[in-house]
Amino acid sequence: MRPGDTRYNQSPLRGIALKIASVAIFVGMSSCIKAAGQVPAGQIVFFRSFFAILPILVMLAWQKELRFALATKRPLSHIMRGVVGVTAMGLSFFALTRLPLPEAITLNYAQPLLVVIFSVLFLGEAIRIYRWSAVIIGLVGVCIVSWPKLTLFGAGGGLGNQAAVGALAALAGAAVSAVALLLVRNLVGTEKSTTIVLWFSLTSSAAGLLSLPFGWEPLSGEQAAFLVAAGICGGVAQILMTEAYRYAEASTVAPFEYTSMILGIAVGYLAFGEIPTLHMIVGGAIVVAAGLFIIWRERRLGIERAGARKLAPPQ
């Protein structure tokens, strides 16, 4: 939702509540995927994407936009965003099956830090020393979280163990997800949010289905139920997240993304008996602090730019 909408920023508290609800449901989605066990990533992508379409279609029907949901003049851009996004999704889901829930969630926090770097490399954006400092500090935090998994000197054989592979997948997923976010930035200038979400869900469903010849596994009834629930949770969470930005500015609701760390620790302990390590807590705190600083800095720069526009003489 753009700032020109009359409902934009009408109810910040409602926007925050919707954001927290979306984060909680996304954590529930991740928990369902983890509970399903070591299912092939492509198979998880299909269930997550296909069953997410159901709540999205319900929302479109309720808004009476179903007929025009796929209308676009940029199908190739949507497909490119879908291919990149589904790659990121597959990597993150693979990481979920190999890592404790809190660590998988925390390593994904590298994404907004990498967005800053990729914005410079691919979009030519000018980044000041403050954000560069926050990015470097945040990446140090990511290294602290992942180091016990990646060290070559560990007793478990370093890169050969599953946790190391999971950590690498999580970091790679965060990097690819950052690229996907840049593609979404390019699309939002001309496309509706619902159109972007529906195109992505359909593209990723097709991509997940194409992985069928590469080794899907027979699912028990319990595994299938978890994966269907993950898909529905993903669709509902996506809707709530979109609605959150309808009622409040991005800089207002974005910090509440980090509540997923607290929820991840709680669910990991209660549902899977996973106790967070000191590396995870310290590194996670550093990553969160760096992310919050970037959000705060962006908000300050936005206020300064708005003030400068008001003081500028009329053309």
According to the 3-state scheme, what is the secondary structure of 166-202? HHHHHHHHHHHHHHHHHHHHHHCCCCCHHHHHHHHHH
Per-residue pLDDT tens over the stretch 49-64: 999 999 989 988 888 8
The answer as to whether 222 is a domain residue is: yes
Position 18 pLDDT exceeds 50: yes
Structural domain count of the chain: 1
The answer as to whether 265 is a domain residue is: yes
With cut-offs at 50, 70 and 90, classify the pLDDT of residue 305: low
What is the structure's pLDDT at 46?
95
Domain range enclosing 27: 12-121+162-276
What is the structure's pLDDT at 10?
61
Per-residue pLDDT tens over the stretch 70-122: 888 889 999 999 899 899 999 999 988 888 888 888 888 888 778 778 877 87
Q: How far is CA 292 from CA 62, 113, 182, 186, 254, in A?
A: 35, 11, 20, 24, 9
The answer as to whether 24 is a domain residue is: yes
The answer as to whether 60 is a domain residue is: yes
What is the structure's pLDDT at 284?
80
CA 236, CA 105: separation in Å to the nearest integer? Answer: 19
The answer as to whether 266 is a domain residue is: yes
The answer as to whether 138 is a domain residue is: no
pTM of the model: 0.75
Position 1 pLDDT exceeds 80: no
